[in-house]
Copies of this chain bind each other. A is one copy, B any other.
Amino acid sequence: MIHSFKALSEKFEEKFSERIFPESPANLYNPAQYILELGGKRVRPVLCLMGNELFNDLEEDAYSAAIAIELFHNFTLVHDDIMDEAPLRRGKPTVHKTFGEDSALLAGDVMLVQSYLQINEVDDRFLKRLIQVFSKTAREVCEGQQLDMDYAALPLEEVRMDAYLNMIALKTSVLLAGSLQMGGILGGGSEGNLDHLYAFGKYLGIAFQIQDDYLDAFGDPEKFGKQAGGDILVNKKTFLLVKAWELSDQKQRQEITALLENDDPEKVGKMMCIYRNLKLDEWAKEEKKLFVDKAKESLEKVAVLSSRKKELEKLIDILLNREN
């Protein structure tokens, strides 16, 4: 029997709710435990479990890999929040705001180490391949974060869509793809199938990011649960902003530049007006569909019974037809 995302999510949460770190030193492990207990959708570890089930019955090893992945993901959140000076994470004070930057830095480090200890639990047969995929992915996530910071510091006109897309893929997609692949390895998937599964995850991640950017600008604030235009407010380089520049004429570019450089109380409204004039809402929907289609095609190419793919197909809907 193939489990649904929700069922696997519950199974994972059960294992993950046990305390992972020792009690002492409290100033090291409490910050680590704190972020783990802030919750989250646990998409990445569940993808790992689903990657396993795509090929075979769920292995106990897949939970070890899944826990490693969720630890790694939370490590990146802790360090990213330090770099971004973010005050909130999932509506709660970030780790560095709660425990100080030094403890947050070190707690992140120990979470990364712990993720390898979790992977190390898997059967010897799979260990080397899992560490290879996991570490390559981890390196790429670091590259993505650095490129994100690089692009944040660049003037908008120097950020090209293809480079931006590559950054997003590294920063967000490769971990989804790597999670699926690690599960697929444990499920005994063949090289070719694993490649298709990886591509599925990569396209899915990009579609998800496009949707995220779309919702921040065009989403219903009621359903979305936060103020619309948050990205615009902080000059975040999103798919929309990069595309806006690409599509703009001389006059619009001047306007965008002025909005980015000056404190305009109506910045969000004015930028949204440009976005609407450029029909970026339609563009984003189409672009998202493009990547969803690519994801679906990749999944189709995985040579297993179509019944095994059902839950991953449903997942596309769960992740990509949301309005909140």
The listed residue (B108, B120, B145) touching A128 by CB distance below 8 A is B120
In the bound complex, residues from chain B placing their C-beta under 8 Å from that of A103 are 146, 149
> Does any Cβ of B come within 8 Å of A147's Cβ?
yes
The listed residue (B116, B139, B143) touching A135 by CB distance below 8 A is B116
The listed residue (B113, B127, B135, B147) touching A117 by CB distance below 8 A is B135
* Contact call B150/A27, Cβ cutoff below 8 A: yes
Rounded to whole angstroms, the CA-CA distance of A109 and B79 in the bound complex is 9
- Select from chain B the residue with minimum beta-carbon distance to A102: B83
- When all copies of this chain in the complex are counted, the total is 2
Known: A113-B135, A124-B124. Contact between A142 and B105, CB under 8 A?
no
> Does any Cβ of B come within 8 Å of A8's Cβ?
no
**Chain A interface, >50% SS class:** helix
| Number of A residues with CB within 8 Å of any CB on chain B | 35
In the bound complex, residues from chain B placing their C-beta under 8 Å from that of A131 are 116-117, 120, 127, 131
The listed residue (B28, B109, B127, B142) touching A110 by CB distance below 8 A is B142
> Within residues 85 to 141 of chain A, which ones have a CB less than 8 A from any CB in chain B?
102-103, 105-106, 108-110, 112-114, 116-117, 120, 124, 127-128, 131-132, 135-136, 138-139
Q: Top 8 nearest A-B pairs by Cβ distance? A: A28-B146, A110-B142, A113-B138, A83-B102, A117-B135, A120-B131, A25-B146, A116-B135
- Interface set of A (CB-CB < 8 Å, partner B): 25, 27-28, 79, 82-83, 102-103, 105-106, 108-110, 112-114, 116-117, 120, 124, 127-128, 131-132, 135-136, 138-139, 142-143, 145-147, 149-150
